[in-house]
Structures are given as structure tokens and as C-alpha cells.
Structure 1
Amino acid sequence: MKWSQIPLGVLQTNCYIVENPDQTCLIFDPGSEGKKLINWLTKRELRPVAIFLTHAHFDHIGAVDEVRDFFKIPVYVHEEEEEWLSDPKLNGSKFFMMKESVNARPAEFVLKKEEDINIAGFEFKLFETPGHSPGSVSYYFEHDGFVVSGDALFKGSIGRTDLPKGNQAQLLKSIHEKLLFLPEETVVLPGHGPETTIIEEMDSNPFLNGF
């Protein structure tokens, strides 16, 4: 199983494609530029089976409808942000000088608890990692040694918590209890910026010192 990082939109939000050898794949956070993402996938003859969201801020959901309609696949989101998809106030697009507000249809599936997920040959764990937003989650591929962390943990930083319903104490708790307990060599795939590892953030991330 391998993954690819595709930065999309003005905020260069990382969309991740995780693929199996049979060319089926999962899409994480199609935040913008739906046509670009669709072209990237079709050129490589990949067959998406689902879209998983780490959270429902506008820069992570902007291309959800375009991509799911093209490939006819379902969307998964945590129940805490189920309503954010269709509400520009909640997903933030109303307040960030967007040309158009982001308003996506409801997700086909709502994630309600931490669990092991098995879909079309993909096996991974769902961790609830709130703080950046109340429904933020991370997806841990244990056998392949990486975690899609959304806007929880970045290389040398953490997610912002000054947005509505953000909570820094809660975010730090999520990072320490859910992410830093992963094996040190685990690769972290963040919502923005370059990849990192658990050990690198434990050693050098200034936001995690003294927690």
C-alpha cells in the first residue's frame, strides 16, 4: 500500500491518496480543485472507493461533491461535524474571503466512535483527535506505518485553535494521548506542509514541550 500527497487550493491543503496494488484507492480531504484531482486519479487509472474527511473546514471539503459525483463514491465524516458540510458559517468559508461559500451535500456515512475500519481491502484505525475542531479525526494505517492526522499535528507545529469551537488544551491532549503513543517511526501525513514522524515531533516540536 502506498500514499501520495496532492496539495490543493490557495491554502495548499494536503489531499492524500492511499492505494492498494489492485489500483483501488481512498481519498482523504479533497479540499479544492476537483478537476485537477479527478485528472490526477484517472491518468493513473486509479479507482477510488470512498472519501474520508479528517474534519469539515472549508479547505478540506471544497471538492467533495465534484469528486464523489464523478466517481460515484460515498463520503465519511465524524458526527460532530456532520452539519458543517452544508453550513458555510460552521465550515468557515463564509469568513475567509472565499469567492464562493462551500456548501456540500450530507455525507453518506457518519463516524460516531473510534473503531477499526475495513473497506474494500483497506484496514485502518479511526482515532478521535479533537481540538483543532470538535470532529477532527486521524486515520492510522498500522501495518503500513503512517497516520493521516489532518490539522492536528504538523511538522514543527500543531493545528490552530482560534477558530470556532477550537480548544488548544483539548488538541494537546489529543496529540499526546492518541498520536504520540504511536510507534516512533510512524510517518505523520498532516493537512498542510511536509510529512514528518512521531519521533521527530517528540524531539523537536516546540508546541509539545512541557505539556
Structure 2
Amino acid sequence: MIALNTNEILALNGLLDSEAIHGIKLPTVPQEQEEAVTKEVIESLTEKEFFIDGKMSDKLFAITQLLEEYKTSERYVFINQMRIGLKDEDEVTFLEINEDETIYLGRIQRVNIVKQIVGNSEFLKKEQKTRYFGNEEKDCSFDEYTEYVNSKNDEWKDMIVIQVYQEEQLQNFYTYYMSDNEGYCYNHLRKTSKEKGPKDIRQDLIDILEVVGDRNE
């Protein structure tokens, strides 16, 4: 995984096709600033050893190939600030946008994404209660859903927003709210809400990321 700023991503994308990168917004550099920005980017990429003695290094070719793999993905899953490109391999390419607009580009196993999310949530680490949650979904708007979950608990510890794309066409869109003891999911496309247990949400993550051969225990 490597950290890049938006201008560095813009430069790497220029080595490909300069077309839009699904899931991130690239800056538009005013013409009068192009020379200064180009100089700054070359200096920063040289510090990262993408250029050695003024020539493009193997490291630059490798990271550009990684960006190309993301751009040519067949499916995409966005989980909060993480943009994941899916093909048929277990290892996926991702872009993760930090609060300071640093963008991390790398590869990760699908199952490790699930483990990271579960590891950061006290609710998802829990065993599911024996009570039956059922399959009932309630019709409601997103405003009604947030009003309802806030009336249930004003100390929601985790929120997970997930968007699923086939190429660049939105297929599914979910928002999960979780406290220490409760979890709810809103389906934005169907406009329905449902209470879910920890195991249910773990299984949702496994299914959405198409993790093969993993057991939800």
C-alpha cells in the first residue's frame, strides 16, 4: 500500500488514459498552474523513488499497473471511504480516501477487509442473540429510518455505508447503524429497513465482497 495525493494520482492516471477513476474526484489544474504543479508532482514522485535519475522506475510501472487494475475492475464495492475493485481473484485492488485527502492505493485479500471491519466494531465481534430476527423489512424513507434508530439509541458507535456497482452502475446501496447491542440496515434502493444481528451483518459483508470459502462464525 502506498500513500498518494490527488495530484500524484492525476499524474499516474495520465500515464493510462486520463479517464475518470470511479469513486474518487480528481482535481482540475488551471492552465496557468500546470507547470508549477507538474514540477511539484515530479519532485514528490522522485522522493518516493518513482523516478530515479530522471527516468521512470519499476516502482512507478508497478503502481501505475495497480491503478489500471482498479480502473478495469468488473465490479466495485464502496465501504465508507474505501473503494474496492473486484475481478475474479481473491485479492482485490483498493483506493482508500483519508480525511486529509491522502489516497492509499494497494491490494488486499477480500476476507481481510471483513476481518478489519469486524475488528473495529464491538457489535460485530459479538455472538448473535438466540432470538430470531426474521426476514421482515419495514417500508420507510431514509429520514424515517434515521429518526427511528435515533429514538432507539442515541449512542450509535458504528455506521457503515456500502454501495455496490456493476462496472459503474449502482446495484445496491445500504447504510448500517450499530450500537454495542443493536444493529439496523437500511436498503436505499428498496427503501426498507431491518434489524440485524452481528452474524447477519458479518454474512452481509461476506456476501457483498463475494468472499469464497469463509465461514461466518
User: Please, what TM-score do these two structures have when normalized by structure 2?
Assistant: 0.23
Which protein shows a greater Rg?
A: 2
More helix by share: 2
Larger RCO (CA within 8 A; separation ≥ 6) = 2
